[in-house]
């Protein structure tokens, strides 16, 4: 039966939506590589990724065996995983299978795969050499001076295939291709005789064979609500399938024999395997250890005014620095809040979104000064160097000058902090007061504000690193958090805003000053912005500098021990070295998210593995902050955790491969070597030190100190977030007085046994 264009088009758009969006390099954001499958239980999604992407989505068995040998994984964890999985296996049987080798997953073959086997001709290579350059031109973000002719993506594809040498060599014809995208897709599916029951899995499989190009097309749908480029790319892939099937009748029988397997995957009938049970055991073991650390009651803290309050991003890299800073003086209090400080800002002439990708900017800010004449001239020279007509002449004329500049440049010195940003002058005062109110209440600063409140954004000072934005603040859209911290400090220091806050019943003490700082995670240093330093007396400035320097030194020593060949004193220079493969570990190791008063975790060595969000239910009577935490920071943290998870368990499929071989592809991503195939995800060197993995592939566990009824009501209002917990993409525990008392399962909280002896 011939499928209608409407049916095929709807299925194609659904397949595109199932891909994970790949953000461009300048604003790389960690994304769950299986984000399109979160409506499925985790084991079912893992099976779908195996079948369609050829990607294992569970920890390698050797990693599980190592955890068992080291005592991190216990028999009780394996038993609990067997019980939760409703498996018929005994503990002995599971452990026997653990020590058996397992073959890497093989994805379902496509027509091109069959053609390569039967015809002994590199069909896939031909397809990549044709569609790779087409995709690079299609998605070009203004990098190329000579771009593809304007027009609809379908017309651009038609023109490309008509003149491409690889397409002609393999008889990929567009002569009879319908002019409508839906009709063209249906025309190909009709010739391939794919039944409707097999179509979802088949189209998803084809998109996975396009690698990063399909994922960047998904980003176009995410960011621009434009599915046409992705659908045109999928059509191009279908045309190659059609050409291969038309080459010989010998392909027809084996292709028809494969279609029932695609129907099975489309129906979701993939039984979970042993590896999903072992993965659950690893997750439960890690959660058991965290529950053990949180088993003691939180100490009572006397009500007093702190000398310093420092608000850090919830990023796991902030946790060691917070702990080290608090150790300097009992009068220091630290808090955790998403690093955009509640400001959904579009910054600068390009309106960079300095907020989580789940939000849209609602206010604008701009640099304090327009670009200088030198900066504008440098931009003109960059454009001149990219033009095909002038590039060679540019190199001949100015190449030596560039060489001298490179040799003379100081690549070890940190970049200057620059002028502060400023709010759009059109922003009404009432709106600024409302933003300030939201910030103060959401941060949980409470009624007692310190004389100095330090708002600490974070970033990573790196050189010559295609993935630099991946090390910046995820809450700031892949940029550093300096702009957000400076804007928030300026807002809360504004006399007009303070007057409005006082009228609204939220007065700020007259002697309180909000200061902005930046935490360079690569060098483990903290720098206060000049406009904030100017607000301090010499004595206060000296005291604050001493605290920050000592805290930084402690973190530098610990950080250097974990980086190959690193020394504490030269961490910053090492990160800015052009040949450095591992500037820092980023968020590798992330495994938990804790939203509770700081007293719950204060003094605990969480080893930089936890997102720490300050939350006090007593300051949130309507639980609006709790709702915000569950629907934004928790979801973003889960994306980060699962992104590192995917790169660790399937680096060749869900990561970008070997960083040594990378070539930057426009403003989009990287190629590995000269192959014109976009790679997405972090490189292997981001999670592996050359000898062992530096990230344990674990699903994020969330620990909340909040009333059970309120949490359940929020989840009920947000079914997408509820599904993450119901389908075990995330785990959820509830705290009381700092101790774990219940675990969320099957739509309710179940009482959790005391965890006093679980930290082993």
Of 133-147, 217-231, 309-323, 495-509, the poorest mean pLDDT is in 133-147
The helix, strand and coil proportions of the chain, stated in percent and rounded to the nearest 5, come to 50, 10, 40
At 643 the three-state DSSP class reads helix
Q: Indicate the pTM of the whole model.
A: 0.93
Q: What is the DSSP string of 393-420?
A: HHHHHHHHHHHHHHHH--SSSPPP--PP
pLDDT at 395: 57
Question: How many residues are recorded in the chain?
Answer: 760
Alpha helix ranges (H) inside 409-528 = 429-443, 482-493, 495-503
Is residue 392 predicted with pLDDT exceeding 60? no
pLDDT value at position 261? Answer: 96
pLDDT band at 336 (very low <50, low <70, confident <90, very high): very high
pLDDT, tens digit (0-9, with 9 covering 90-100), for 668-686: 899 998 888 999 999 999 9
Q: How far is CA 298 from CA 82, 197, 308, 569, in A?
A: 33, 55, 21, 36
| pLDDT confidence tier of residue 424, bands split at 50, 70 and 90 | confident
Give, in degrees to the nearest 5, the angle at Cα 368 between 365 and 369: 125
Could you give the C-alpha distances from 714 to 442, 629, 634, in angstroms and in order?
Answer: 17, 11, 13
Bigger pLDDT: 124 or 441? 124
Question: pLDDT tens, 252-282?
Answer: 999 999 999 999 999 987 887 899 999 999 9
- The pLDDT of 141-145, averaged and rounded, is 57
Closest to 552 (Cα-Cα) out of 560, 564, 562: 560
- The 8-class DSSP code of residue 703 comes to E
8 Å CB contact between 660 and 581: yes
Radius of gyration of the chain (CA): 27
pLDDT for residue 144 is more than 60: no
Is residue 614 within 8 A of residue 626, CB to CB? The reply is no
- pLDDT at 334 > cutoff 80: yes
- Cβ atoms 425, 282 nearer than 8 A: no
* For range 49-66, the mean pLDDT: 96
Higher pLDDT, 101 or 550: 550
Give the integer Cα–Cα distance in Å for 740 and 756.
Answer: 10
What's the confidence (pLDDT) of residue 411?
57
Asked if residue 458 has pLDDT above 70, the reply is yes
Q: What separation, in Å, do the N-terminal and C-terminal C-alpha atoms of the chain show?
A: 61
Average pLDDT value for the chain: 90
Angle 429-443/482-493 helices, nearest 10 degrees?
Answer: 110
Q: For residues 637 and 611, give the distance between their C-alpha atoms in angstroms, rounded to a whole number.
A: 8
Q: At what angle do helices 212-224 and 228-247 cross, to 10 degrees?
A: 150
Predicted confidence at residue 674, as pLDDT, reads 85
In Å, the largest CA–CA distance within the chain is 86
CB 335 within 8 A of CB 444: yes
Between strands 308-312 and 332-336, the pairing is parallel
pLDDT in tens, 516-535: 999 999 999 999 999 999 99
Q: What is the pLDDT of residue 675?
A: 87
Chain segment 12-50, per-residue pLDDT in tens: 999 999 999 999 988 888 999 999 999 999 999 999 999
Half-sphere exposure of 671 (CA within 13 A, CB side): 15
Tell me, what's the pLDDT at 755? Answer: 53
Per-residue exposure over 357-386, b if at least 16 CB sit within 10 Å of its own CB, e if not: beeebebebbeeeeeeeeeeeeeeeeebbe
Q: Which residues contact 718 (CB under 8 A, 6 or more apart)?
A: 627, 630, 631
Whether residue 381 has pLDDT greater than 90: no
d(CA 329, CA 358): 37
Cβ-based burial of 12 (10 A; exposed 0-12, middle 13-18, buried ≥19): buried
Cα–Cα distance for residue pair 541/297, rounded to 1 Å: 36
CA nearest to 65, candidates 276, 280, 282? 282
Q: Which helix (DSSP H) or strand (DSSP E) does residue 230 occupy? A: helix 228-247
pLDDT score for 698: 98
Per the CB < 8 A criterion, the answer to whether 52 and 201 are in contact is yes
Residue 668: its pLDDT value, please? 87
- State the pLDDT at residue 528: 97
* Alpha carbon distance 340, 517 (integer Å): 13
For the four alpha carbons of 453, 457, 462 and 463, in that order, the dihedral sign comes to negative
The pair of three-digit structure tokens given for residue 545, joined into one six-digit string: 């500098």
Residue 608 phi, psi (nearest 5): 60, 35
Please count the helices (runs of H) and the strands (runs of E) in the chain. 29, 18
Q: What mean pLDDT comes out for the span 622-649?
A: 96
pLDDT exceeds 60 at position 480: yes
In the predicted structure, residue 68 carries a pLDDT above the cut 50: yes
Residue 665: alpha-carbon gap to chain centroid: 20
238 pLDDT higher than 50: yes
Q: 181 with 231: CB under 8 angstroms?
A: yes
Q: Is the pLDDT of residue 728 over 90?
A: yes
297: tokens are 């009651």
CA distances from 187 to 4, 181, 294 (A): 9, 10, 60
Is residue 237 pLDDT above 80, yes or no? yes
With 0-12 CB in 10 A as exposed, 13-18 as middle and 19+ as buried, what is 565?
exposed
Least confident of 145-154, 329-338, 603-612: 145-154
Q: Measured between alpha carbons, how far is 265 from 51 in angstroms, rounded to an integer?
A: 7
Question: 690 is written with which tokens?
Answer: 């050359």
């Amino acid at each position: 039966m011939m499928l209608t264009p409407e049916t095929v088009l709807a299925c194609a758009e659904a397949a595109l939506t199932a891909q994970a969006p790949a953000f461009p390099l300048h604003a790389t954001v960690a994304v769950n590589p299986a984000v399109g499958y979160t409506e499925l239980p985790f084991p079912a999604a893992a099976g779908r990724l195996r079948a369609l992407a050829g990607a294992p989505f569970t920890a390698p068995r050797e990693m599980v065996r190592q955890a068992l040998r080291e005592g991190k994984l216990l028999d009780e964890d394996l038993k609990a995983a067997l019980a939760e999985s409703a498996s018929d296996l005994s503990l002995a049987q599971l452990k026997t299978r653990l020590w058996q080798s397992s073959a890497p997953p093989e994805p379902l073959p496509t027509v091109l795969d069959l053609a390569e086997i039967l015809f002994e001709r590199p069909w896939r290579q031909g397809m990549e050499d044709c569609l790779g350059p087409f995709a690079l031109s299609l998605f070009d973000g203004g990098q190329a001076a000579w771009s593809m002719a304007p027009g609809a993506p379908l017309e651009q594809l038609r023109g490309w295939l008509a003149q491409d040498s690889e397409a002609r060599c393999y008889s990929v014809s567009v002569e009879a291709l319908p002019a409508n995208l839906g009709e063209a897709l249906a025309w190909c599916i009709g010739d391939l005789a794919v039944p409707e029951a097999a179509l979802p899995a088949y189209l998803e499989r084809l998109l996975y064979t396009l690698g990063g190009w399909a994922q960047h097309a998904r980003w176009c749908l995410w960011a621009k609500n434009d599915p046409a480029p992705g659908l045109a790319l999928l059509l191009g892939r279908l045309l190659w399938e059609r050409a291969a099937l038309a080459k010989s009748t010998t392909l027809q029988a084996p292709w028809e024999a494969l279609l029932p397997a695609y129907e099975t995957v489309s129906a979701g009938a993939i039984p979970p395997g042993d590896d999903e049970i072992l993965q659950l055991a690893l997750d439960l073991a890690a959660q058991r250890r965290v529950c053990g650390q949180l088993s003691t009651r939180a100490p009572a803290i006397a009500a007093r005014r702190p000398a310093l309050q420092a608000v850090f991003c919830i990023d796991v890299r902030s946790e060691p620095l917070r702990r080290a800073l608090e150790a300097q003086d009992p009068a220091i209090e630290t808090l955790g809040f998403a690093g955009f400080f509640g400001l959904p800002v579009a910054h600068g002439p390009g309106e960079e979104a300095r907020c989580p990708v789940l939000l849209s900017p609602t206010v604008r800010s701009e640099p304090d000064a327009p670009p200088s004449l030198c900066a504008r001239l440098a931009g003109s020279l960059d454009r001149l160097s990219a033009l095909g007509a002038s590039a060679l002449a540019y190199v001949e004329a100015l190449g030596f000058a560039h060489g001298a500049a490179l040799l003379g440049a100081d690549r070890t010195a940190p970049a200057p902090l620059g002028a502060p940003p400023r709010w759009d002058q059109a922003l009404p005062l009432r709106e600024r007061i409302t933003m300030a109110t939201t910030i103060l209440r959401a941060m949980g600063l409470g009624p007692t504000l310190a004389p100095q409140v330090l708002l600490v954004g974070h970033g990573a000072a790196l050189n010559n690193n295609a993935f630099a934005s991946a090390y910046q603040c995820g809450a700031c859209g892949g940029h550093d958090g300096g702009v957000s911290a400076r804007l928030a400090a300026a807002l809360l220091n504004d006399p007009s805003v303070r007057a409005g806050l006082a009228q609204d019943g939220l007065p700020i003490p007259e002697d309180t000053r909000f200061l902005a700082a930046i935490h360079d995670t690569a060098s483990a240093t903290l720098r206060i912005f000049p406009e904030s330093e100017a607000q301090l007396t010499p004595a206060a400035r000296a005291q604050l500098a001493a605290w920050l320097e000592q805290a930084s030194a402690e973190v530098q020593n610990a950080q250097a021990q974990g980086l190959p060949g690193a020394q504490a004193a030269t961490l910053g220079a090492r990160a800015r070295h052009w040949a450095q493969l591992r500037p820092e570990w980023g968020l590798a190791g992330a495994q938990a998210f804790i939203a509770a008063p700081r007293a719950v975790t204060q003094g605990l060595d969480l080893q930089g593995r936890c997102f720490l969000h300050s939350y006090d239910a007593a300051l949130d009577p309507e639980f609006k902050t709790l709702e915000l935490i569950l629907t934004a920071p928790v979801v973003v943290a889960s994306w980060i955790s699962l992104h590192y998870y995917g790169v660790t368990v399937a680096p060749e499929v869900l990561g970008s491969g070997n960083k040594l071989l990378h070539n930057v592809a426009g403003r989009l991503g990287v190629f590995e070597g000269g192959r014109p195939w976009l790679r997405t995800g972090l490189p292997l060197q981001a999670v592996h030190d050359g000898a062992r993995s530096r990230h344990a592939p674990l699903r994020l566990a969330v620990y909340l100190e909040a009333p059970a009824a309120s949490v359940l009501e929020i989840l009920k209002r947000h079914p997408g977030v509820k599904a993450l917990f119901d389908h075990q993409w995330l785990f959820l525990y509830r705290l009381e007085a700092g101790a774990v008392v219940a675990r969320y399962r099957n739509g309710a909280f179940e009482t959790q046994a005391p965890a006093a002896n679980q930290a082993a």
